[in-house]
Amino acid sequence: MPRELIDLLWRDHPDAPSGGARGPRARISTGSVVEAAIRLADADGLGAVTIRRLAADLGVSTMSIYTHVNTRDDLLVLMADVAHGSAAPAPEGGASPSADWREQVRLLAEANLDLLRRHPWLLEIADDRSALGPGTIAKYDHELAALAPLGLDDVATDAALTFVLDFVRASARALRPQPHAGELAASWPQWGPRLAGYLGDDFPLAQRVGAAAGEAMGGVGEPSLAWSFGLARVLDGLAALRP
Amino acid sequence: MPRELIDLLWRDHPDAPSGGARGPRARISTGSVVEAAIRLADADGLGAVTIRRLAADLGVSTMSIYTHVNTRDDLLVLMADVAHGSAAPAPEGGASPSADWREQVRLLAEANLDLLRRHPWLLEIADDRSALGPGTIAKYDHELAALAPLGLDDVATDAALTFVLDFVRASARALRPQPHAGELAASWPQWGPRLAGYLGDDFPLAQRVGAAAGEAMGGVGEPSLAWSFGLARVLDGLAALRP
DNA sequence: ACGTACGCCGTACAACGTACAGTGTCATGA
DNA sequence: TCATGACACTGTACGTTGTACGGCGTACGT
């Protein structure tokens, strides 16, 4: 059994236990396992992140993975923390701290949307233990700083941050390609008319609005109307807190 | 192979294909499979919804399930649609249509939070094919009606609805017990101090706000400050659309 | 009465996470 | 210098999952 999750999360910290120097030199490390897992998830989805597949990619036997990671669930936490740490920490300090809070929040939202588009598998990881890792904490820290111009107290600032991030998360979820989209598209020629038959004249409101919304989605290629609409709502909602 | 998903979703509709009357009488039905699956998921989580377990609960052999449902993924879609259909359609028509849109939206949000608390497994179902089912469409229809007093056009009404529902979904997700909460609590006595050691004096903002937010959470038992905060933000955000 | 459509079932396979019992290698204390 | 034992790595094996396939018996339509 390797070290505990908390120490694996902080494996790059000078105080982290490094394990004795005895025995053969390790051919792989926790870090390399996590990196390989992220590459795999980026390419083929989280479902492709298999202990066996990981081991094959790293050129070791299946069970060797467990020398560097306790459990698949722990691995997911490590992956999430690394991804969080890779989110650009906002180029602040030098040029433009931009006291305009609306712009700050918009940038924060866009940075997070970008992160979730680069690593869609983050949406599938429910485990909150990554909140203990350095990447996640650093992200939390500089995002709180971005909300500082709002002038809220600590508890409200935290609530505002989760409010914004939850919106981004939901938007990213809607944007990502659905798992069974292909099959649905394939059988739509038959299903569409059949559905129309079932619906008949029921739910006129849903039929009209659904059609309009569907058409707006498949439009000129606007990435998502829901994004701009929702972001404007978020900003206006936060604006109501200002004096 | 049974009927297609679209027909299974609408299995209670008079026009739905019912299958020939030949052969032995069916001992179970698609409906009973879905009901049993929902009972199972409510009791033991979506992970407990196993084809074998389902078959055992219904007193048939494992493979008989596939006579009534194409695939486990399809079953999840059917479950979601039934759950959506069970959401109370808002006691409208008689007494108080309540032209106050804020109250309407609040009721809509609370009804959805209630739904997700009764069936937390809905949060784990990503498949959007349930949007083709009668329960989901009925829910969509009467929720659109609840947003009518906002006076928006069709596309904006749809966007507003997904905005509200996404907020509720994220809140429900935060409220539900985390999968590894037990283990975390168990090892916290060791992990807490070690984390403090790693953090040192870094991330002072995150440490201060995190502590404050954590304390506010574990407070008098307020179900969630994030809920009331977020709901107020949602309402204020929508209010900005009004003339 | 017969044929056949259809519900049900047993077996089997591939893939998964991971427990367990090694095997070999190296820094270290004697 | 040598023996100790910590440690990376590995092969086998178990239990669990979804589901493909083929067979069996029932009961309706002819």
Taking only the tens place, the pLDDT of each residue in A41-91 is 999 999 999 999 999 999 999 999 999 999 999 999 999 999 999 986 655
In the predicted model, is pLDDT for residue B221 greater than 80?
no
Q: Which residue has the higher pLDDT, B187 or B1?
A: B187
**Tens digit of pLDDT for each residue in B47-83?**
999 999 999 999 999 999 999 999 999 999 999 999 9
Q: Which pLDDT score is estimated for B224? A: 85
How much of chain B, in percent, has pLDDT values that exceed 90? Answer: 84
The distance of Cα B48 from the centroid of its chain, to the nearest Å, equals 17
Smallest Cα distance from B178 to chain A, Å:
7
Locate A209 and state its tokens. 């609005």
In the predicted model, is pLDDT for residue B218 greater than 90?
no
Local structure of B44: helix, strand or coil: helix
List the 177-206 stretch of B: residues with Cβ below 8 A of A.
Answer: 178-180, 184, 187, 190-191, 194-195, 197-199, 203, 205-206
List the 15-44 stretch of B: residues with Cβ below 8 A of A.
Answer: 15-16
Interface contact B210-A128, CB threshold 8 A: no
Q: Which pLDDT score is estimated for A177? A: 86
Interface contact B178-A237, CB threshold 8 A: no
Q: Which nucleotides of C are covered by protein (CB under 7 A)?
A: 3-12, 15-21, 24-28
Domains and CATH numbers, chain B: 5-84 (1.10.10.60)
In the predicted model, is pLDDT for residue B92 greater than 60?
no
User: A114-123, A201-210, B191-200, B208-217: which has the minimum mean pLDDT?
Assistant: B208-217
Q: Distances in Å between the alpha carbon of A240 and those of A18, A237, B45, B151, B240? A: 50, 5, 39, 21, 9
In the predicted model, is pLDDT for residue B96 greater than 70?
no
Q: What is the mean pLDDT of chain B?
A: 93
Are B51 and B72 in contact by the 8 Å Cβ rule? The answer is yes
List the 57-96 stretch of B: residues with Cβ below 8 A of A.
Answer: 73
Instruction: Assign B19 a pLDDT band (cuts: 50, 70, 90).
Output: confident
Locate B37 and state its tokens. 């699956």
CA of A240 to C1' of C24 (A): 68
Smallest Cα distance from A64 to chain B, Å:
24
Are B208 and A138 in contact by the 8 Å Cβ rule? The answer is no
Q: Which residue has the higher pLDDT, B156 or A218?
A: B156
| A chain contacts of residue B7, beta-carbon cutoff 8 Å | 194
Locate B215 and state its tokens. 């304390």
Amino acid at B62: T
**What chain B residue is nearest to A190 in terms of C-alpha separation?**
B6
For range A122-147, the mean pLDDT: 97
Show contacts of A100-104: CB within 8 Å, 24+ apart: A100/A149, A101/A147, A101/A149, A101/A150, A101/A238, A102/A235, A102/A239, A104/A146, A104/A147, A104/A149
pTM, full prediction: 0.94
For range A169-173, the mean pLDDT: 97
Instruction: Assign A19 a pLDDT band (cuts: 50, 70, 90).
Output: confident
User: A35-44, B15-24, B69-78, B122-131: which has the minimum mean pLDDT?
Assistant: B15-24
Among B157, B213, B226, select the one facing A209 at the smallest CB separation.
B157
Q: Which pLDDT score is estimated for A32? A: 98
CA angle at B115 for the pair A200 and A206, rounded to the nearest 5°: 25
Q: Which pLDDT score is estimated for B242? A: 85
Q: How far apart are CA B120 and CA A183, in angstroms?
A: 27
List the 137-166 stretch of B: residues with Cβ below 8 A of A.
Answer: 137-138, 140-141, 144-145, 154-160, 162-163, 166
Q: How far apart are CA B156 and CA B168, in angstroms?
A: 18
Instruction: Assign B97 a pLDDT band (cuts: 50, 70, 90).
Output: low
**What chain B residue is nearest to A234 in terms of C-alpha separation?**
B237
A180 touches strand D (CB under 7 A): no
- CA proximity to B171, closest of B86, B230, B222, B108: B230
**Tens digit of pLDDT for each residue in A221-232?**
566 899 999 999
Q: Which pLDDT score is estimated for A2? A: 77
How much of chain A, in percent, has pLDDT values that exceed 90? Answer: 84
How much of chain B, in percent, has pLDDT values that exceed 70? Answer: 93
Instruction: Assign A93 a pLDDT band (cuts: 50, 70, 90).
Output: very low
